[in-house]
Chain A
Amino acid sequence: MKSLAELQAIKERMQNKVALREGSGDMRVVVGMATCGIAAGARPVLSAFVEEVAAADLTSKVTVSQTGCIGICQFEPVVEVYEADKEKVTYVKMTPEKAKRVVEEHIKGGKVVTEYTLANENA
């Protein structure tokens, strides 16, 4: 069983890293988690982003957070990627598989996955 002692160990490992987290915010991944998003499958999409960002060792640079209804419910699950000095990218009809690709190609590689974007959907 995962014990509180293990949690204590996590705390000790993390304390040094907390200072680093403060200076983060280079990139923000925001998942729409209102009723519309949740019903459309946003929960596993969020989990996928959290796990993939950690697996890519990018937690100090990239924050994954949740927001309410973005207003385009027919395109849920919707994910927005914000990066300093760049235009916001809106990904639509997301799945955990698509999330994995976005982390690999966009978050890590810097190249927007155009085929999943709202702009592409509307084209």
Chain B
Amino acid sequence: MTKTAERRPVPRAAALPDPAPPPAGGRRRRRIADQARAYAFLLGALVCFALFSWYPAVRAVVIAFQKYTPGSKPQWAGTANFTRVLHDPEFGAAWRNTLAFTLLALLIGFAVPFLLALVLNELRHAKAFFRVAVYLPVMIPPVVSALLWKWFYDPGAGLANEALRFLHLPTSNWSNGTDTALVSLVVVATWANMGGTVLIYLAALQSIPGELYEAAELDGANLLQRIRHVTVPQTRFVFLMLMLLQIIATMQVFTEPFVITGGGPENATVTVLYLIYKYAFLYDDFGGACALSVMLLVLLGAFSAGYLRLTRSEGDTP
């Protein structure tokens, strides 16, 4: 990485003494004043983090063990929320769908952008066009993408079936069929989000030193061998990082199922976050919603920890 050189701070000033040390008595007063000033700068952000990040995290755990309906006093409920949620038939469906969504998104939403990035890196013309085109869907609001694809998936005059008819293929129910709904949503999510993955992976590909490919070619490596022995190992870190980020993002999928299918047909696209939303805003059962949140939190926390470890260990190497 080329960044390390410019990142390294100028070493000498690590603990610079005050330019003109004040007399002994005033020194302490000055230090307190300095600290007060530092905390004045920190205050706004600290209050916001405390209110909207730290406190809700603690509160999720507390409410998960309470009977909580807005307006009345919360009561301790032991593990009742968890057992109730676990016995909800939608619970299994929601987790199955979320995991299936994540897995499919890895298969489709991950293979496609990598292949695209690999090809794009070889093209020497119209680079700007490719980058703008692939990132355009990312800038379209997710709600608009979802509504747009809902229209494409319309069994009647939707573009998806029109395309199939044009190719003389049998039409599909897309997001309206129990078997096809989840895959249809994965396609939408992939279309809407892969621009970021392509651009990040492209940047990683560009940082591979050309000499490596040259040396491999001199050693007689063909195209596939060069991909396997140069491209893949050289971009392994970015690859893993993107994979974890994608898992974390898709485990929290909400907009697509909410807008396109409403969780249907027959719960085929209910996701965990959707179920959390339902518990809180349809059933008024905030205890159940928080119990679900805690479960999601634990799982995602594990993935996030993996992600942070990965980025940290890479960042620390000099």
The yes or no verdict on A and B being binding partners is no
Q: Which residues of B contact A (CB under 8 A)?
A: none
